[in-house]
Structure 1
Amino acid sequence: MKKYLNYYVRNFDYPLFFTYLFLCLFGLVMIYSSSIMVSIVDADGTPTYYYRKQLFNLIVAAFAFFVGAFFPYKHFSNKKIMQILLFITFILLIWVKIKGEEVGGAQSWINLFGVTNFQPSEFAKLFIILYFAGAFYRKSLNNPMENLEPNNIVYPIIVWLAIILFVGTETDLGAVLILSGIAVGVVAASGIQFKKFVKFFTVLIGFGSALIGLIILVKGNEILTDNRMGRIKSFLNPFEYETGSSYQIINGYIAIGSGGLEGVGLGQSIQKLGYLPEPQTDFIMAIIAEELGIFGVIIVLGGLGFIIFRALIIALKTKDPLARMIAAGIGSWIAVQSFINLGGLSGLIPLTGVTLPFISYGGTSILLLSFAMGVLINISMYVKLEKKL
């Protein structure tokens, strides 16, 4: 046991761990700062409501992190484990369709026994990484990945399309984009030939587009709601609808503009005092920009960028295709989700309600991202061991 612990201490990826820890703690501070008014007015009347809940989420997430860090990632290629995770994923997605709660226009939440809410689409993101990586790895044992054709991996594609169908009919379009980005990231890291990857990508776009068209045809009235059409109009011309659908975007711009270089000071935001709806979730970066200025924004972007870069470096260094695909999938997840959040906030893309990884308030997100970070550190330790052999 002592030898086992010494191995972990010597090979542990401390820069990656401390960056992850810093972002979580920084996010906790900013959740407290941004949610004071929301907690008093809309929650239990105390200024610490969301802070206390996120602190509990982080404690639970710490256990998930250490499970991911100490559970050998090689087991994710085990077919039985993947079948169990597949079963759990679809049970959760079916459950949310039957008894899910609608939040922010998407029926994507499950109330777990009255204790907490859980978002199955977040679990699906992690599952797609592990399932794709495990399925492709098992295929490569008999046939090198560079020789595989898209028709050799039909079953994983069908599973991905089924998950996209379930999540899409929840009308959680942000999650659909992230799940698509993750799938592309894992396949790109699989070792498949570039021409075949383009072919796979074309097949993916074709099936995905057909599926999205079917979803819109069947549930068009629920997807193309006034709220969502308002988001598209706001994206095209936000200042024309500043008292309506662009209200949140405009107040986000005001928050960012008010911060300037140094910010107005921690806790001194004006926009969080009822002007910016739900400032502790997908618009938390606007409060960071207002209170801490460009320096606060650089700190967050630097931390997220380091984790993404580190994940890709780990993927490039390892000789194990399973490790490479999982690391690339985790990096893709964080990169795509960060882009969608910050792109919506800055007006580069329409708003989707996606949270900022590690920073925004949310139990399901931090729990599963923490497990993913544990797995990434697990792989990083394996890469260091590879060098010594």
Structure 2
Amino acid sequence: MKHGQLEQRVLVLVTLGLVAFGLVMVFSATSASAALGAGDPMRFLVKQGLYAIAGALLLVMLSRFDYHRLRPASPLLVLGVLVACIAVLVVTAPINGAHRWFLVGPVSLQPSEFAKLAVCLFACAVLARRPAPQTLGELMKPVGWAVVLVGGLVLLQPDLGTTIALAVMVFAILLVAGTPYRLLVTVSALAIGAGVAAIWLEPYRRTRFTSFLDPWQDPEGAGFQTVQAMIGIGSGGVTGEGLGQGIQKINFLPEAHTDMIYAVVGEELGLVGSALVVFAFGAFAWAGFRVALRSRDRFGKLLAAGITALVCGQAALNLAAVLGIAPLTGIPLPFVSYGGSSLLVLLAAVGILLNIAVNERVVETRVRDRGRGNRGSRASSARSRGGAARPRRERDVRRNTRPRRVAAGA
């Protein structure tokens, strides 16, 4: 198997497998509540299926689109998401106390999801044409300011989870770019300090954080969601209650089809199903970082690492929150949770990652073919020189061995 083909196939199989698995779990988590509420148990499945088809088309298109062409467009993309994040704060009405979505008929779009991919492209484009930043001032111009502006606007929506995912992605890009560890430690300390301040200054975040430390202290209040997720996962045992047989999703577990869908997986499919989900994201991380390591293009290397960190970092944050080892942040599980914007953006990002793998195979093939062509041309030229020289030498030999005429009077 050629270099890059294994990684590409793993990425495709894992991504499509998780999307298909997500459709099944979304239907399982929403069919009962949708039937009781709107009388249509297929409502959430149909919407998520349409988003999945649109995302699959984006994946195919971007896997065939040269990712280098996205590099000059990255500043415009960041500017566009900045305008969208401001507009969603000013124009839209709050939904559950948050300004996060543009509603256009039955379609809802979340600008913060698109902001993650735009910032990833911009940071990779800037760091690809410069040496790694050595000081905080070099880092801030312009990558740091872009992250601060986008992250600040997302935090105002409010959406701390997306801001944390954004920070994790940028940290991975800086690490691969060769940023000194002392600067990474400084940036991490500043980011953690800003996160602590954001938690402490917002009462609901502070309550959520303190309830994480001991959710059983208030199991019917601040710790309700965490407690119900633990009950669901614990009741699944090894093999689970059976697909569609869980009861936590019916008016017990809040946001069962979005942030807490992994708890539904644990209850219905048990330890086996839960472990397979973790294994799938582990395989995605292996393949994605292998693509980054093999890439000879600095922009492609940074972009592959950033996309892989975005997908797997978001998955790690979601799993940690559902399992109760991290505070709840509202981050969906990639490819599995219900959410159109997240699914569209992540499938588009996987398409770019596949294109990086394809481009690397093309470069390696061209290098090998060029080397073979050079060797073949040198050999043919040597043969041609030898073929031209041989008759000349033979003529010289015949000329030297030809008998000379001797004069009669000699």
Q: TM-score under structure 1 normalisation?
A: 0.87
How far apart, CA to CA, are the structure 1 residues paired with 2:69 and 2:32? 46
1:306 matched residue in structure 2: 283
Q: Contact 1:187/1:197 (CA < 8 Å) preserved in 2?
A: no
Q: Supply the distance in 2 between the matched residues of 1:336 and 1:304 (Cα, whole angstroms).
A: 10
Q: How does 1:110-149 map to 2 (within 5 A)?
A: 110-111=102-103, 113-139=104-130, 145-146=131-132, 149=135
Give the structure 1 partner of residue 148 of structure 2.
Answer: 161
Would the alpha carbon gap of residues 211 and 358 (structure 1) be closer, same or farther in structure 2, given more than 3 Å must change? closer
Note the alpha carbon deviations across 1:180-212, whole angstroms, 9 max, x for none: 1111111111134xxx34325514643774697
1:262 CA displacement = 0.7
- Quick check: 1:34 aligned with 2:29? yes
Equivalent of 2:78 in 80, 86, 93: 86
> Deviation digits for residues 18-52 of structure 1, max 9, x if unmatched?
1110100000001001111221234x221111111
Match of 1:6 in 2: none
Distance apart, 1:301 and its partner CA: 1.0
Match in the other structure for 1:269? 246
CA–CA distance in structure 2, aligned partners of residues 303 and 315 of structure 1: 19
Secondary structure in structure 2 of the residue aligned to 1:117: strand
Q: Does residue 53 of structure 1 match 2:47? A: yes
1:73 equivalent in structure 2: 67
Distance 1:105 1:350 in 2: 19
Q: 1:76: Cα distance to partner?
A: 2.4
Amino acid at match of 2:286: F
The answer to whether 1:385 aligns with 2:376 is: no
Instruction: Give SS of 2:108's match.
Output: strand
Q: Verify the 8 A CA contact 1:134 1:322 in the aligned structure 2.
A: yes
CA contact (8 A) 2:63 2:351 kept: yes
Are positions 1:189 and 2:176 aligned together?
A: yes
Count how many residue pairs are aligned between Structure 1 and Structure 2.
Answer: 363
SS of residue in 1 equivalent to 2:121: helix
Q: Is the 8 A contact 2:78 2:115 kept in 1?
A: no
2-structure distance, mates of 1:265, 1:323: 43
Report the AA paired with residue 190 of structure 2: G
SS, match of residue 177 in structure 2: coil
Partners of 1:55 and 1:186 in 2: CA distance? 32
1:1-389 → structure 2 map (5 Å cutoff): 13-42=8-37, 44-78=38-72, 81-111=73-103, 113-139=104-130, 145-146=131-132, 149-153=135-139, 154-192=141-179, 196-203=180-187, 205-206=189-190, 209=193, 213=197, 220=201, 223-225=202-204, 228-388=205-365, 389=367
Work out whether residues 208 and 328 of structure 2, in 8 Å CA contact, stay in contact via their aligned partners in 1.
yes
Indicate conservation of the 8 Å contact 2:318/2:332, yes or no. yes
Residue 155 of structure 1: how far off its partner (Å): 1.3
Spell out, residue by residue over 1:321-371, the C-alpha distance to the aligned partner (whole angstroms, 9 max, x if none): 111111110111112211211111111111111100000000000000000
8 A contact 1:37–1:274 mirrored in 2 = no
Deviation at 1:77, TM superposition (A): 2.2
- Unpaired runs of at least 5, structure 1: 1-8, 140-144
Q: After alignment, is 269-278 or 357-366 more displaced?
A: 269-278
Please say which of residues 302-311 and 358-367 is displaced more in the overlay: 302-311
In 2, Cα distance between equivalents of 1:300 and 1:147: 37
Q: What SS does structure 1 have at the residue aligned with 2:101?
A: strand
**Counterpart amino acid of 1:224?**
P
**1:138-174, Cα deviation, whole Å (9 max, x unpaired):** 22xxxxx257554334112111111111111112110
> Which segments of 5 or more consecutive residues in structure 2 lack a partner in the other structure?
368-410
- Tell me the SS of whatever aligns to 2:32: helix
CA deviation vs aligned residue, 1:281-338 (integer Å, no higher than 9, x gap): 1111111111111111122111111111211111112121111111110111112211
User: CA 1:22 to 1:211, structure 2 compared with 1: closer, same or farther past 3 Å?
Assistant: closer
Amino acid at match of 1:242: P
Larger Rg: 2
User: 2:8–2:287: 8 Å Cα contact kept in structure 1?
Assistant: no
Mapped to 2, the partners of 1:235 and 1:133 lie a distance apart of 35
Structure 1 residues 12 and 352, CA, compared in 2 at 3 Å: closer, same or farther? closer
Instruction: Tell whether the 8 Å contact from 2:199 to 2:206 is kept in structure 1 after alignment.
Output: no
- Post-superposition CA distance 1:255-281 (Å, at most 9, x none): 111111111111111111221122111
User: CA separation in 2, counterparts of 1:207 and 1:307?
Assistant: 27
* Counterpart-to-counterpart distance in 2, 1:289 and 1:279: 12
What is the percentage of aligned positions where both structures have the same residue?
Answer: 30
